[in-house]
Amino acid sequence: MTASLKNLPGTGDFARGIHPSDEKGLAQNSPIEIVPPPAQIAIPMLQHTGAPCDPAVQVKQELAMGDKVGEAKGFISAPVHTSIAGTVMMASVTTLPNGRHVRTIPIKAGPNQVSGDALKAEIFGGEWPTSGLEKYEPAQIAAAVREAGLVGLGGAAFPTHVKLTRNEKRPVDTLLVNGCECEPYLTADYRLMVEFPAPIVTGALLAGHASGAKQIVIAVEDNKPAAVEALKKAAQGTAVQIATVHTKYPMGGERQVIPAVLKREVPTGGLPLDVGVVVVNVGTAAAIARAVLRGKALTHRIVSVTGRGIKNPKNLLVPIGITYQELIDYCGGFTADAARVVVGGPMMGFSISTFNIPVTKGTSGVVVLTQDDVKRAEETSCVRCGRCVDVCPLNLVPTKMALASKFEDWEMAKRYHLLACCECGCCGYICPANIPLVQLMRKGKAQMPRG
């Protein structure tokens, strides 16, 4: 299959980028399995971009699945909910894979849980209408999405209601639903598109109505023909278009998929809103449908547990708050040559060495790499070959940004737009000197004075 963008101005491609081995064959044919409810979960009060939540429960309080655990007080924030029925325990603190220390609310499971096929049916099953959705007011849709705690499920975890709230100064004409799962190994979005395309289409229609978009497009890479066909069938008779784009990393980034589909360039330091576009992930679109039509909170998500270092790679529907250790155990544990566990994809994810950490809304995958996967040549000096510049999808100069970060030269960092870096990892992947460019830039962004 090749790029197909009927009636759309894009070419299906973007400038620069890379073509790493995708490794998706390990899990892409594994249907979504339901992980049994754990004996206990821990709900972090910060699972999104923006302000953390304030606890909304008391110790020993009894909760049903979907009850609110943390209240969002800021506009750029999202409430959190329990993914099991149970009893609230004493609050604690955990360290997330990105290094942030966050407050968590542990919940001990009670006897009555929704699980198995009943859980899958509750989240994805039933009828998903594609007509009559105009009866929902835009503000009503945004409010339901906020109350349900929806954030971007592609990894960025930006509160979805913020994107859907209309802004008269920056009107939206296009809603772009992102089905470009470009990270190697990960297949959670792929399985969702293949198995449950209907709620994605319904959610896209609701999001388009809320944001004021007249054009709704679902973008999928051309290495996912089964997903394309499933979505086309589900979208028949609706205004939703399916655009097939070239397979390239990082096509899943907003600043890459927008020019590929719409031939619009998001300005450096700007947002998709600046070019009249709202982007949501396919998983987020399905969650929007559930939040608006059924009033259900975001309690579960699909996670790929994959890599050659895991015995049985799978795609799992998991309760938010379950630990990574429990997912690893469910998939049979590590192989003898397992060497590294990465939360997220290998390009943008974070390595972890302890696994008793809760899954959050932004967890798209757990990748277990082997000794052979992580072998790395010794770091040497920059040879000024320019390959990092050639592949940077944002047309930045990674070597200059990394130097600025290393030596804390913040004027240089600003001059070369360090904060615009999306940390996609293309530069580090291609660097012949094996310089940890992304890690240097992450360090610089964390230390760089604001203002």
User: What is the DSSP-derived secondary structure letter of residue 35?
Assistant: P
Q: Report the sign of the C-alpha dihedral through residues 175, 179, 180, 182, in that order.
A: positive
Q: Tally the residues of the chain.
A: 451
Contact 146, 158 (CB under 8 A): no
Predicted confidence at residue 337, as pLDDT, reads: 96
- 297 CB-contact burial (10 Å; exposed 0-12 / middle 13-18 / buried 19+): buried
**Per-position pLDDT tens, the chain of length 451:** 677 888 899 999 999 999 999 999 999 999 999 999 999 999 999 999 889 999 999 999 999 999 999 999 889 999 999 999 999 999 999 999 988 899 999 999 999 899 999 999 999 999 999 999 999 999 999 999 999 999 999 877 899 999 999 988 899 999 999 999 999 999 999 999 999 999 999 999 999 999 999 999 999 999 999 999 999 999 999 999 999 999 999 999 999 999 999 999 999 888 999 999 999 999 999 999 999 999 999 999 999 999 999 999 999 999 999 999 999 999 999 999 999 999 999 999 999 999 999 999 999 999 999 999 988 768 898 999 999 999 999 999 999 999 999 999 999 999 999 999 999 999 999 999 999 999 999 999 999 997 6
* Strand-pair partners of 352: 341
Domain map of the chain by residue range? 24-32+119-294, 39-114, 300-374, 387-447
Helix 138-147 to helix 197-211 angle (10° resolution) is 120
Cα–Cα distance, 353 to 50 (Å, whole number)? 26
CATH value of 300-374 in 3.40.50.150, 3.40.570.10, 3.90.76.10, 3.10.20.600: 3.10.20.600
Region at 37 (left for phi over 0; alpha for psi -120 to 50; beta for the rest):
beta
Residue type, 357: I
Contact 446, 412 (CB under 8 A): no
| Span 39-114 CATH architecture | Beta Barrel (2.40)
Predicted confidence at residue 22, as pLDDT, reads: 94
Q: 308: helix, coil or strand?
A: coil
- Range 24-32+119-294 has CATH code 3.40.50.11540: yes
Q: pTM for the whole thing?
A: 0.95
Residue type, 46: L
Contact 266, 257 (CB under 8 A): no
Per residue in 329-345, is it b (16+ CB within 10 Å) or e — as a string? ebbeebeeebbbbbbbb
Which residues, in sequence order, are CB contacts of 125 under 8 Å at separation 6+? none
E strands along 28-146, which residues?
Answer: 32-34, 40-44, 54-55, 62-63, 68-71, 80-81, 86-88, 92-95, 101-109
Predicted confidence at residue 1, as pLDDT, reads: 61
Which residues, in sequence order, are CB contacts of 43 under 8 Å at separation 6+? 69, 70, 80, 81, 82, 83, 104, 105, 106, 107, 320, 321, 358
Helix 197-211 to helix 188-195 angle (10° resolution) is 100
User: What is the DSSP-derived secondary structure letter of residue 352?
Assistant: E
Q: 243: helix, coil or strand?
A: strand
Cα–Cα distance, 422 to 115 (Å, whole number)? 37
Predicted confidence at residue 429, as pLDDT, reads: 93
Q: 245: helix, coil or strand?
A: strand
Alpha-carbon separation of residue 402 from 38, 322, 436, 445, 446 (angstroms): 42, 36, 9, 10, 13
Strands 92-95 and 86-88: unpaired
